[in-house]
Amino acid sequence: MLPARNGGRLLKTTVYPRIGETVLWETLPNGLPVCVVPKPGYARRFAFFTTRYGGMDMRFRLDGRWLDTPAGIAHYLEHKMFDTADGSAMQELAKGGAEPNAFTSNAVTAYYFDCTEHFYENLRILLSFVSVPYFTDESVEKEQGIIAQEIGMIEDNPEWQVYRQMMQALYRHSPVRQSVAGSVESIHRITAQTLYDCHKAFYTPANMCLVVVGDVDPEEVLRAARGVLPQESGPAIPRDYGREEDLTPHMARIEDRMEVAMPTFLLGFKCPPVPEGEERMRLDILGDLACDVLMGESSPLFTRLYSQGLINGTFDSAYDLLPGAAYVFCGGDSNDPEAVQQAVLDEARRVVREGVDPAYVQRIRRASFGASIKSLNSFEAIASTAAEGCFQGYDPFRFPEVYDSITQQDLLDFIRDNIRPERMALSIIYPKE
């Protein structure tokens, strides 16, 4: 495949033979990074337009003053962005055969669609409605009822509540304590002007990323972006994530009661924040591998706890990275969360003391690497991976080399440094009495 041209010059094209992908990058004069991942012969085409703005970004500096915005505003803005002066962008995309959607996380908001026809027309609609907001006080007020219902559903979900409890136990100051959706009280403080302020701050080309996956013409993608989006970007916006956290959790334990058949729990371990750059990708992979080695489905710990009836198939673990925050967590349903907690600590000490079978580590590494390769079958996963790397300053398609660099000692060091009782918080949802 020949590299694409942009205005007579070649786009940056990188071939990744180990994963069978070719990726093209271009940064437009307005600062927008554009990524195209060609998929020749595929009928389906996917566009992913995302901003580095999420639920945690509640306090920021705009036009010389600090703004404190209500919890849930990024998610609220996502809902309202589909409104246009002419009606609904959702309907316009549907007319063109596209299936649009959006989501808001702690760190990003993303808008996307896939289609087989009229791709470039749909792409222009996507770029247009995301970059040109349209809010009225009436429409903003009307949305409050819809989002309040959504919040109610979230708050009735035990899995969400046990996670939120864990974050409140781990962190004292970080906005990660807040629900991405906010609360019924907080969203009632949102106005059209607040939404316009947030859009002005964060929906600027240099703070966003466009990723397209499929059988597309990269030049046409760039023409669409240049033709629709602003010619200039806004300034970088300082953000405030609260006072710096130490590694001691805010609370060691937190619990509540809900309509559940048996207790559900999450055990969290507070980890040092991770800076942007290549090391972030390495630590992300390393942390997940360490979780798999210590307590994954094929681990001795999982097998033992399962056979004892202390856990079931709901048990899972992971390492998560957020702006200014990082943590390991594990959990699921259990009639004795405290026993699981102690078993995890004991196993971490044993593994660090005695080591692990190299053959076992190699099996874990191969399985994890295979899952990463398999994820490339998903256009959505490719796009979100590319955008994450763009925002965090690393090349996410170099993950095979990262896997190669991680040693058994790296895994043991991660477990020793992070799976410690003084870093730990236990969140439990018990059945109602």
Active-site hit among 26, 78, 245, 347: 78
* Confidence category of residue 8, pLDDT binned at 50, 70, 90: very low
Going by C-alpha positions, the residue among 418, 411, 389, 394 that lies closest to residue 50 is 389
DSSP 219-242: HHHHHHHHHHS-SSPPPP--B---
Query: At 393, is the secondary structure helix, strand, or coil?
Result: coil
> pLDDT per residue over 168-220, tens digit each?
999 999 999 999 999 999 999 999 999 999 999 999 999 999 999 999 999 99
Residue 7 pLDDT > 60, yes or no? Answer: no
Q: Could you tell me which residues come within 8 angstroms of residue 72 by beta carbon, excluding any fewer than 6 positions away?
A: 55, 147, 151, 178, 179, 180, 181, 182, 183, 186, 187, 190
Range scoring the smallest mean pLDDT among 103-107, 241-245, 290-294, 310-314 = 241-245
78 is catalytic: yes
| CA–CA separation, 289 and 365 (whole Å) | 7
Answer whether 60's CB lies under 8 Å from 67's CB.
yes
Q: 3-class SS at 419?
A: coil
Task: Dump pLDDT digits (tens) for 231-263.
Answer: 999 999 999 999 889 999 999 999 999 999 999
The position carrying tokens 């990744």 is 16
So what's the pLDDT on residue 84?
Answer: 85
pLDDT confidence tier of residue 86, bands split at 50, 70 and 90: confident
Q: For residue 85, what pLDDT band results from cuts at 50, 70 and 90?
A: confident
Contact 28, 225 (CB under 8 A): yes
Read off the pLDDT band of 406 (50, 70, 90): very high
Q: What is the pLDDT of residues 118-162, one digit of tens each?
A: 999 999 999 999 999 999 989 899 899 999 999 999 999 999 999
**Average pLDDT for residues 77-82, to the nearest whole number?**
95
CB proximity list for 2: less than 8 A, separation 6 or greater: none
- Other C-beta atoms closer than 10 Å to the C-beta of 357 total 10
At residue 278, does pLDDT exceed 50? yes
Q: Which long-range contacts (CB under 8 A, 24 or more apart) does 60-69 make?
A: 60/201, 60/202, 60/237, 60/238, 60/239, 60/240, 61/237, 61/238, 61/239, 61/240, 62/197, 62/200, 62/201, 62/237, 66/240, 67/197, 67/201, 69/190, 69/194, 69/197, 69/198
pLDDT of residue 2: 39
Q: Above 60 in pLDDT, residue 366?
A: yes
Compute the mean pLDDT over every residue in the chain, rounded to the nearest whole number.
95
Nearest Cα neighbor of 79 from 109, 42, 122, 38 is: 109
3 — pLDDT class (breaks 50, 70, 90): very low
Q: What is the predicted pLDDT for the residue at 10?
A: 53
Both tokens of residue 153? 């559903």
Neighbours of 403 (CB within 10 A): 18
pTM across the whole model? 0.94
Lookup: tokens for 352: 């660090």
* pLDDT above 90: residue 11: no
For the residues 71-95, what does the mean pLDDT come to? 92
Domains and CATH numbers, the chain: 5-228 (3.30.830.10), 253-431 (3.30.830.10)
pLDDT for the residue 225: 97
d(CA 55, CA 183): 12
